[in-house]
Amino acid sequence: MVWIRWAMAGAIAGLLGIAPGAAGADEIGCLKASGKSGSRCLERYLKPIEKCRAKQGPECEAALRTEGGALDEVVAAAEPTLRDRCDLQSALDLGFLRLDDVVLRSTETCRDFAEDFLETAYVPDPTALADAERSCQRFIARQLGGLRKKTIAAYGKGCLLKRARGKVCDVAKLDSKLEKRRAKAEAKILAKCSLPPITDDVATRTADVVSRARHFAQRVYPPNTLGPAAEFGPFPVGVRTLPLEDVARMNVEGDGPRPVLTEVYYPSTDAAVAGLSGDVASVIGIPIVETPTFRDVAAAPGPFPIVLFSHGNGGIRFQSLYFAAHLASHGYVVVSPDHHGNSILDGIAGVSDPDVAMNRPLDMSFLIDQLEGFQVEGGHFLEGALDLDAIGASGHSFGGFTVFALAGGASSGGTFTEPRVDAILPLAPAAVGLTPAFFESISIPTLVIGGTLDETTAYETNQRAPYDALSSGAAVVGLATLRNAGHFTFSDFCEVPRDLLEFLGGFDEACEPRHLAWRYARDLFSLVGLHFFDATLKGDAAALAALDPARLSELDDLTYESK
């Protein structure tokens, strides 16, 4: 079963502070094939374009880019190797969804990063350069290309593959070595020639090459050694959609009760899901993404702590379903509503809630009321499954604002304090209109998670500033920061097929080469989020100890601080 394979993947490493164990032979073979074919595809994609730009006109490159042309052939050539060396088991163990997903993500990565490296290394029209400028351009491209290759090899084969084999990689030492290489490449370029705009900001461009090459290595050598807390837990995950209505509030049209369409993710049992296929999330009847959940199956015997989840502005109740499923697989019931008048479906229908900032937290309080009823309702699938004395809340973006509202006191928009919520985990939250005094009023455990490349809810004003204003004293008051994570890194947008993602938006805030590899990023915040809720809702002393900044400092690409 799929959930068992995901759970098994967590066994390849120990908990934080414990050396990882070696991966299986099939997994190593697939990882090597992914890394080798990805790196080879990248270089074979770049080489003919660079030749065109060095010696010929734009017609040369245009011919390469024709449908079915040389570049398409380069990308297609990666598939046989991946299929020969990977099977379903090894693909799942590496965090892919299926064997076809290994091929899809490898080819997407090849194209995306090749085009990004070209943009970094070349002026907009290199074929129009004079002879001296063209010579300079070729030199710059060689220097940046060498830096790219060395970084990918050092971080991919020399570190991530090494870790998968159970060996140690000192990333701090590696980063220092790569910085010296970057500085050397910068100095060589500046000493050789001048070619605006490249040499005007060569420090930035060389840094971008190192950063992108690191992200490329994370894509083609996917890190999967964070330990059990980053992997799916022992429970297969059930999912149900509940068409709830709050009769105390009117819908936007004013002709009926407010709908609170809700997705519930919950622990199930092996027997309940035996022989079933995983659910596929759909929007207006269009399949969007495969999920590690099973629809309408029985719940496991509880009681389980509850986590409410609030989607972002114009989002949908299953926009962060992998995080919800992750928590559910570890023994949580996750309850995630569509916020009427503020979901993607409402946007399509032209329905907008003018009081959305007020109604969002009221939706969450309404759901707690409903859960209290489900707990004692005879025959309800959640009867007896809920621990109503252990309720957490999480949310992304506007959803982060929503859970802040549940935890704090008075604000300019009103007071929505929900005393039944015991801990909050805002992801890339918006903090617009919330004052330092509001954040000082929050007294329950709070962990804010954000990304340094967030351009929608800027990190310094929406994550750092709220954390700085929080009072100390709760069991956990923390700030986790993911290096180079974008705003939608905390959603599942990058899992969506490209043609649909163009309609939904968000690619440029999560899925570009400048961003931390999204599945790896999801492992990071899922690990920290699980520790947080285990510590605050389950009273797990080991989980609380795992949130020690000294222990979390062992993780790459994440910094953590606490009060």
State the pLDDT at residue 448: 98
DSSP 365-431: HHHHHHHHHHHHSTT-TTTT-EEEEEEEEEEETHHHHHHHHHHS-EETTEE---TT--EEEEES---
State the pLDDT at residue 284: 79
State the pLDDT at residue 24: 66
What share of residues in the chain are helix, strand, coil (percent, to 5)?
50, 15, 35
Residue 321 in contact with residue 280, Cβ under 8 Å? no
pTM for the model stands at 0.94
State the pLDDT at residue 502: 73
Nearest Cα neighbor of 223 from 557, 546, 492 is 557
Tokens 């999560």 map to which residue? 510
State the pLDDT at residue 501: 76
β-strand pairing of 304-310 with 386-396? parallel
State the pLDDT at residue 23: 66
Residue 520 in contact with residue 222, Cβ under 8 Å? yes
State the pLDDT at residue 1: 32
Nearest Cα neighbor of 140 from 120, 125, 113 is 120
State the pLDDT at residue 465: 98
- 407 burial (CB, 10 Å; 0-12 / 13-18 / 19+) is buried
Residue 559 in contact with residue 481, Cβ under 8 Å? yes
State the pLDDT at residue 505: 74
CA within 13 Å, CB half, 33: 23
Cα dihedral 324, 503, 112, 84 in deg (nearest 10): 60
State the pLDDT at residue 14: 30
The whole-angstrom separation of Cα 249 and Cα 494 is: 35
> What is the mean pLDDT of each successive set of 10 residues along the chain, which is 563 residues long?
36 31 76 96 97 86 96 96 93 90 95 98 92 95 98 97 94 96 98 96 98 98 92 97 98 97 98 94 84 96 97 96 98 98 93 97 98 97 98 98 97 95 98 96 98 98 98 97 97 89 82 97 97 98 97 94 97
The whole-angstrom separation of Cα 428 and Cα 213 is: 25
State the pLDDT at residue 3: 39
Nearest Cα neighbor of 96 from 507, 518, 500, 526 is 518
Largest Cα span, the chain: 82
Kindly state the helix (H) or strand (E) to which residue 247 belongs, with its residue range: strand 237-250
C-beta neighbour count of 20 within 10 angstroms: 18
State the pLDDT at residue 282: 86
Kindly state the helix (H) or strand (E) to which residue 545 belongs, with its residue range: helix 541-546
Residues contacting 413, CB < 8 A, separation 6+: 357, 358, 405, 433
State the pLDDT at residue 15: 28
- 263 burial (CB, 10 Å; 0-12 / 13-18 / 19+) is buried
- 445 burial (CB, 10 Å; 0-12 / 13-18 / 19+) is buried
Cα dist from 96 to 101, 336, 456, whole Å: 6, 25, 28
C-beta neighbour count of 215 within 10 angstroms: 25
Q: Which two tokens stand for residue 86?
A: 């990977």
